[in-house]
Chains A and B, each alone.
Chain A
Amino acid sequence: MRDVAIIGSGVTKFGELWEKSLADLVAEAGISAIMDAGIDGTDIDAMYIGGMSAGRFVGQEHLGALAAEVSGLSELHIPSTRVEAACASGGLALHSGYLAVASGMYDTVIVGGAEKMTDVAGKEATNILASAADREWEAFFGATFPGLYALLARYHMHKYGTTPEQLAAVAVKNHHNGSMNPKAQYRREITIEDVLNSTMVADPLHLLDCSPITDGAASAVITSVEKAKEYTDEIIKIKASAQASDSISLAGRSRFDALPATIEAAKRAYKQAGIEPSDIDFAEVHDCFTIAEIMAIEDLGFFKKGEGGKAAEEGLTALDGEIPINTSGGLKSKGHPVGATGIAQIHELLLQLRGKADKRQIEKAEIGLAHNVGGSGGTAVIHILEAI
């Protein structure tokens, strides 16, 4: 296995992009990543694209070939594969590309993720997203994702005394970060009161505890570290690429105060990277709901189990905190085009590691972690990047 580097990335604006089709978004993100990497289309050996449910959102499957075509690469006939793991599709596309480059099969690979979610009404989007849960044991009985994460939140509150205010603190922090991200869907600051006064979606989760429905795409170019040196002096190495799975339904889990898939993927990632959680300078975590970020920062080992809420409340995860979390605004403020999210997290890591995150640039950004979750924790994908 050889070392792999990321040499470029790009994201589209996230939001309700009614003027842009799925193909437009894929092309825009792909081209910006290629330009960022300073490579030519002919340099690309393969493509992996993550998408959760384009078939149901816009009636388009066969995303692999489509992505190659709209990127102007169809005449090169490169292998192009669509990867799906619900909301972790993007992260898994990178993991797949990583394996291909690390194995020596391909040299330079473009990975991406895209989702066009606003062509359907909210109710339909909720139903489509519920296909990331267990259809037979959860969705058929009316469980939605806000409902499932509300159960996890209730349990966390019961076991550790986590409060609605602590949940809200996550949203407030992420909106603050997102207000400085020109690509973010919601670039406005909110207060704890705004969150607590917003419509109750699934008790205890208010509207402002939930990530939104979003259109968007993201892309990154990876190659071997050796080859990366031909393109750039600024090598961003993929120190770890790990994946773990778990029962797709909550009922099959061993515990409810954590996502065991995250814990397991993190263990593998830290082992591969040869580092400890305390070595991580900052992270993009999968805050599809505020409770998800609180569980994530515990499961990733940044804080003790049960202390994630307090950490958020005390500002330990803020831009100037102990370990800045979701400097991009996270899924909450930046938006959550499910298939694109995992790659968009990587884009933010790249910006921070290169010192190009403008107003939201953190002081020490040498090692960053990206944490991408599918469903309520059936899949977790973790990447650790380091500027070397």
Chain B
Amino acid sequence: MEKVGIVGYGAYVPRYRIKAEEIARVWGKNGKSISAGLGVYEKSVPSMDEDTATISVEAARRAIKFSGVDPKEIGAVYVGSESHPYAVKPTATIVGEAIGATPDMTAADYEFACKAGTAAIQTCMGLVKSDMIKYGMAIGADVSQAAPGDALEYAASAGGAAYIIGKDNIIAEINETVSYTTDTPDFWRREGEPYPGHGERFTGEPAYFKQVLSATKKLMDKMGTKPSDYDYVVFHQPNGKFPMRAAKRLGFSKEQVEEGLLCPVIGNTYSGSTMIGLSAVLDVAKPGDRILATSYGSGAGSDSFDITVTDKIEGYPRNNIRKMIENKVYVDYALYMKYRGEFK
């Protein structure tokens, strides 16, 4: 079987930040204890002119620029998000047009809570493997919503990452991917509703942990690997605590998780979460490094990937995402509400 993998990637996180303490101040809560409890200290805030389409375009442009892939050779663009700007009208066509991939391509928007982007990677892998397309672009991006005052508000943030999947000039080979999917209603947003609802602690054990642990174990069983075979592991990051706990339960060390754990400083970027985390790992990985990445989408399911970094990584422009995250501007709660369009 021919190898398939990541040819290029690019991530984008908006510049604005709000501290969890600032949100807690407004709602009369203890910010320090919330931050410590969630493992989230600050989160990214999209500016007034940013949405899932612009974030997707930013990430896609970086992937194109860094990889040098000719956009005309991209045969598919899939954008996974739970905050597509339109209910009907694709984000993926905006991205395709913006990066110059149109019109000889297929495109669609995906939604699977926080894992739609990794589902798009799997779709692209299939199309590339079957030679239906040369390159496919999979994006996970969100400007996630949270009702003012809801527990989600401390983490729901914005960001995205784009991955170009192909067979040529692979910088990281995807050795295998498996999924684990059940109908578990832990988090949802009904048509027409502005904010999602959630089943409180139900989002933990029967939802996140069940899917993430099952998918990851399934992948390792299939590959005949154990946690120590991997240099890095990335899990979906709804907060800073869940991925750490998942790692511990599976037998991964803190050190294996830390490189890809961005939630404490950017919050939960939803569809962007696992994919931005993986980009932070690729930014520092060496040839031969092995990475395990498992996404999670409420509703619920996980996609798990076994990845080996190739020699080609050395020529790839890197050290991008952490540098971008450091370049930040803090906003207070009033500006945050204005940027989020909450003042109507």
A182 interfacial by beta-carbon distance below 8 Å: no
> Does B33 lie within 8 Å of A197, measured CB to CB?
yes
The answer on a CB contact under 8 Å between B200 and A121 is: yes
Asked whether A122 is an interface residue with its Cβ less than 8 Å from the other chain, the reply is yes
Q: Are B199 and A199 within 8 A (Cβ)?
A: no
Nearest CB on B from A210, distance (A): 15
**Subset of 9 A-B contacts with CB under 8 Å:** A16-B201, A18-B202, A19-B206, A118-B202, A121-B198, A121-B199, A122-B200, A199-B29, A199-B33
What CA separation (Å) do A309 and B202 show in the bound complex? 36
* B residues near A121, Cβ cutoff 8 Å: 197-200
Give the CA-CA distance A241 to B200 in the complex, in Å: 39
List 9 tightest A-B contacts by C-beta distance, closest first. A18-B206, A121-B200, A122-B200, A16-B201, A18-B202, A121-B199, A199-B30, A197-B33, A199-B33
Interfacial residues of chain B within 194-223, with CB under 8 A of chain A in the complex: 197-202, 205-206
How far, in Å, is B28 (CB) from chain A's closest CB?
9
Binding site secondary structure of chain B: helix
Which residues of chain B from 172 to 196 have any CB-CB distance to chain A below 8 Å in the complex? Answer: none
Instruction: Tell me the A253-270 residues at the B interface (CB within 8 Å).
Output: none
Q: How far is the CA of A19 from the CA of B197 in the complex (A)?
A: 21
Instruction: Report how far A276 CA is from B205 CA in the complex, Å.
Output: 48
Of chain A, the residue at the smallest CB distance from B198 is: A121
Q: For the side of the interface on A, what is the size category?
A: under 10
Closest to A18 in B: B206
| B196 CB → nearest A CB, Å | 12
| A4-56 with Cβ < 8 A to chain B | 16, 18-19
Q: Which residues in chain A, 102-131, are within 8 Å of chain B measured between CB atoms?
A: 118, 121-122
What is the distance, in angstroms, from B147's C-beta to the closest C-beta of chain A?
12
CB-CB < 8 A to A19: which residues of B?
206
Please name the residue on chain A nearest to B199 by beta carbon: A121
Closest Cβ–Cβ distance, residue B89 to chain A (whole Å)? 33
A16 to B215, CA, bound (A): 24
- Give Cα A197–Cα B30 distance, bound, in whole angstroms: 10
Q: Specify which chain A residues have a CB less than 8 angstroms from the CB of B200 in the assembled complex.
A: 121-122
Measured CA separation A199–B29 after assembly (Å): 8
User: Which residues on B sit within 8 Å (CB–CB) of A197?
Assistant: 33
Please measure, in the bound complex, the distance between the C-alpha atom of A18 and the C-alpha atom of B200, giving whole angstroms: 12
Of the candidates B33, B197, B200, B205, the one having the most CB atoms from chain A within 10 angstroms of its own CB is B200
Chain A residues lying within 8 Å of B205, measured Cβ to Cβ, are: 18
Q: Whole-angstrom distance between the alpha carbons of A49 and B280 in the complex?
A: 57
User: CA separation between A136 and B33, bound complex, in Å?
Assistant: 36
Q: Which of B33, B201, B205, B206 has the most CB of A within 10 A?
A: B201
Complex Cα spacing A199 to B198, Å = 21
CB distance from B310 to the nearest CB of A (A): 43
Closest CB of chain B to A312's CB: distance in Å?
Answer: 25
Q: Give CA–CA (A199, B199) in the complex, Å.
A: 20
CB-CB < 8 A to B197: which residues of A? 121
Q: Output the least CB separation between B134 and chain A (Å).
A: 46
Residues of B within 8 A of A199 (CB): 29-30, 33
List chain A residues, Cβ under 8 A from B33: 197, 199
Cα–Cα distance between A320 and B206 once the two chains are bound (Å): 39
Residue among B197, B199, B205 with most chain A CB within 10 A: B199
**Complex alpha-carbon distance, A36 and B285, angstroms:** 61
Q: How far is the CA of A16 from the CA of B206 in the complex (A)?
A: 11
Query: Closest approach, in angstroms, between the C-beta of A223 and any C-beta of chain B?
Result: 40
Complex Cα distance A18/B184, Å?
11
Given contacts A18-B206, A121-B197, A199-B33, 13 further A-B contacts (CB under 8 A): A16-B201, A16-B202, A18-B202, A18-B205, A19-B206, A118-B202, A121-B198, A121-B199, A121-B200, A122-B200, A197-B33, A199-B29, A199-B30
- Taking CB atoms, residues of chain A closer than 8 Å to B202 are 16, 18, 118
Give the complex CA separation of A122 and B202 in angstroms.
11
Contacts of B198 in A (CB 8 A): 121
Across the interface, which residues of B come within 8 angstroms of A118, CB to CB? 202
CB nearest neighbor in A for B204: A16
* Separation of A329 and B205 alpha carbons in the complex (Å): 24
| A residues near B30, Cβ cutoff 8 Å | 199
Q: Which residue of B lies closest to A121 (CB)?
A: B200
A263 CA / B30 CA spacing, docked (Å): 39
**Which residues in B have their C-beta under 8 angstroms from that of A18?**
202, 205-206
CA distance A321 to B29 in the complex (A): 37
Which chain B residues lie closer than 8 Å to A16 at the CB level?
201-202
Q: Mark A168-208, 1 if CB is under 8 A from B, else 0.
A: 00000000000000000000000000000101000000000
Mark contacts of A329-343 with chain B using CB atoms, 8 A cut-off: 1 yes-contact digit, 0 otherwise. Answer: 000000000000000
Within the assembled complex, what's the spacing in Å between the Cα atoms of A19 and B205? 11
A18 to B204, CA, bound (A): 12
Q: How far apart are B200's CB and chain A's nearest CB, in angstroms?
A: 6
Set of chain B residues within 8 Å of A122, measured between Cβ atoms: 200
Q: What 1/0 mask marks residues of chain A from 146 to 188 whose CB sits below 8 Å from any chain B CB?
A: 0000000000000000000000000000000000000000000
Chain A residues contacting B206 (CB-CB under 8 Å) are: 18-19
CA distance A56 to B343 in the complex (A): 36
CA distance A16 to B207 in the complex (A): 14
Alpha-carbon separation in the docked complex, A197 to B36 (Å) = 13
Task: Tell me the minimal C-beta distance from B82 to chain A in angstroms.
Answer: 20
Contacts of B201 in A (CB 8 A): 16
A329 to chain B, nearest CB (A): 20
For A16, the closest partner residue in chain B by CB is B201
B73 to nearest A CB, angstroms? 48
Give the distance in Å from the alpha carbon of A122 to the alpha carbon of B203 in the complex: 13
Question: A220 vs B202: C-alpha distance in the bound complex, in angstroms?
Answer: 31
Q: Report how far A137 CA is from B300 CA in the complex, Å.
A: 43
Chain A: CB-nearest residue to B206? A18
In angstroms, Cα B201 to Cα A118, docked, is: 9
CB distance from B187 to the nearest CB of A (A): 12
**Least CB distance, B340 to chain A, in whole angstroms:** 23
- In angstroms, Cα B37 to Cα A197, docked, is 12
A118 to B199, CA, bound (A): 9
B179 to chain A, nearest CB (A): 22
